[in-house]
């Protein structure tokens, strides 16, 4: 991490179609950033993530999905296969990014930042499994980290509180993971 003023908006990432985007294009929005996988016991959460996205996107909310193959090789497909799977099975319309690593020396810089901003259970810096969720306020500050078992719909109140807060700095309760 460069310094304490760093936000998620200072990072860029590659979408499934291979185009690079700066996360600054989401400035002013509340974000739920999730490491995902297509062959995981938590994969059905895609449906609930999509419902959250459709429910709140017009109020300034986005879900950002980052497929990862680091946990049980549960995301072994190509970017095209990942996109087709998510569209066909869950109607995913929120942004999905190219496959990344979230732990280890090749971890994407965004996930290094997220893990440092909100540590897991007992101060752990690593992500333990697919579908770990990070809630980000309108100014790019990480305000919550949620375990894979936390159902996306359980975050609705926290998301609404951030959407209702003009500066995006309200502090919803977070569950350590």
Q: Which residues are catalytic?
A: 40
Residue 20: φ, ψ to 5°? -90, 135
How far apart are the C-alpha atoms of 29 and 16, rounded to whole Å? 21
Query: How many CA atoms are closer than 13 Å to the CA of 42, on its beta-carbon side?
Result: 21
CA distances 10 to 23, 74, 141, Å, are: 7, 29, 11
| Nearest partner of 149 among 132, 124, 174, 125, judged by Cα | 132
First-residue to last-residue Cα distance in the chain:
21
DSSP 3-state of 41: coil
CB 60 within 8 A of CB 28: yes
How far apart are the C-alpha atoms of 144 and 136, rounded to whole Å? 7
């Amino acid at each position: 991490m460069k310094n304490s003023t760093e936000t998620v908006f200072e990072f860029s990432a590659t979408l499934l179609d291979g185009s690079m985007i700066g996360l600054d294009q989401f400035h002013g929005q509340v974000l739920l950033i999730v490491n995902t996988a297509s062959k995981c016991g938590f994969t059905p959460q895609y449906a609930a993530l999509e419902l959250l996205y459709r429910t709140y996107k017009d109020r300034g909310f986005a879900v950002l999905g980052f497929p990862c193959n680091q946990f049980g090789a549960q995301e072994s497909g190509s970017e095209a296969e990942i996109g087709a799977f998510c569209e066909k099975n869950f109607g995913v319309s929120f942004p999905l990014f190219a496959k990344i690593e979230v732990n280890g020396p090749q971890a994407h810089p965004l996930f290094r930042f997220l893990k440092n901003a909100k540590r897991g259970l007992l101060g752990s810096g690593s992500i333990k499994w697919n579908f770990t969720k990070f809630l980000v306020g309108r100014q790019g500050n990480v305000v919550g980290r949620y375990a894979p078992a936390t159902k996306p719909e359980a975050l609705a109140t926290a998301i609404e509180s951030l959407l209702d807060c003009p500066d995006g700095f309200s502090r919803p309760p977070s569950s350590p993971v």
